Structures are given as structure tokens and as C-alpha cells.
Amino acid sequence: MSDSTVKKVSSKTAPKGTMGQTYLVSGKRLSMRLWENEQPQTDVSEPRDYETVGYVVKGRAELLIEGQTIKLEPGDSWLVPAHAKHSYRILEPFTAVEATAPPAQVHGRDEVNTRSN
């Protein structure tokens, strides 16, 4: 039997995470989240056991990953492999959509809040 589940999630009523993210739709193997109007800051991120791809809607940031600095601007997309040491430096109010596989919010994968201003 095939999975016929269809979901629609409104960002207005979607659950919020402890780091400010909005959890959008989630399937068995993939989920989406929204980072909206994130203010300038630098986060100190732990390597995560999920892969992340993202798309910048507005603002600017830098992704510091494995010794590289990648500038992110509107229209850019990026990939953070699972277990990669990385952090983000938000340079101006930043909005982005990310997809994570497996879903970041399942089994406590996304509960650690290590952000600092």
C-alpha cells in the first residue's frame, strides 16, 4: 500500500523551535523549516546528524563550514552535509527556507540551542 498522506502547513500556525525556527511540513524522510527575520548574530553550531539544504529569501549571512566561509545572499542556496562542523554569521536580517533529511525536529535532533548574540 502506498502512502497517500498529503499535508498542508501554514507558517502562521506552524510550531516554533527553541532556536526561532518555524517547522513547516514534514514527511518520513524530509522536512522543511523557516528562519524568518533572524537578526545579526553568530551561532556556534554542533555538527548535526542530518543533511541541510537551504535557500536565502532575504538578507545576508556567512556559512562557516569545514574551514571555508561561504557568503549567502538572496537567491543563493547551500548544502551542509550531515556531521559537518559549521556555524552561521547573520550579517543583516535574514530569512531562509531549509530542508533537512532526515527531519531535524524528530528524535531531539534539533533541540540543542547553542546560539549567542
Give the pLDDT confidence of 48-84 residue by residue, as tens digits: 999 999 999 999 999 999 889 999 999 999 999 999 9
Q: Which cell goes with 62?
A: 556567512
- Res 44: pLDDT: 79
- Do the Cβ atoms of 51 and 79 come closer than 8 Å? yes
In terms of pLDDT, which residue wins out, 40 or 107?
40
The whole-number average pLDDT for the span 97-104 is 95
At 75, the amino acid letter reads G
Reported pTM? 0.84
* pLDDT(2) > 90: no
Query: What domains are there in the chain, each with its CATH number?
Result: 22-101 (2.60.120.10)
- Do the Cβ atoms of 86 and 64 come closer than 8 Å? yes
- Res 51: pLDDT: 96
Q: Which cell goes with 14?
A: 506552524
* pLDDT(15) > 70: yes
Which is nearest to 45 in space by CA: 107, 117, 99, 113? Answer: 113
Q: Which cell goes with 33?
A: 523549516
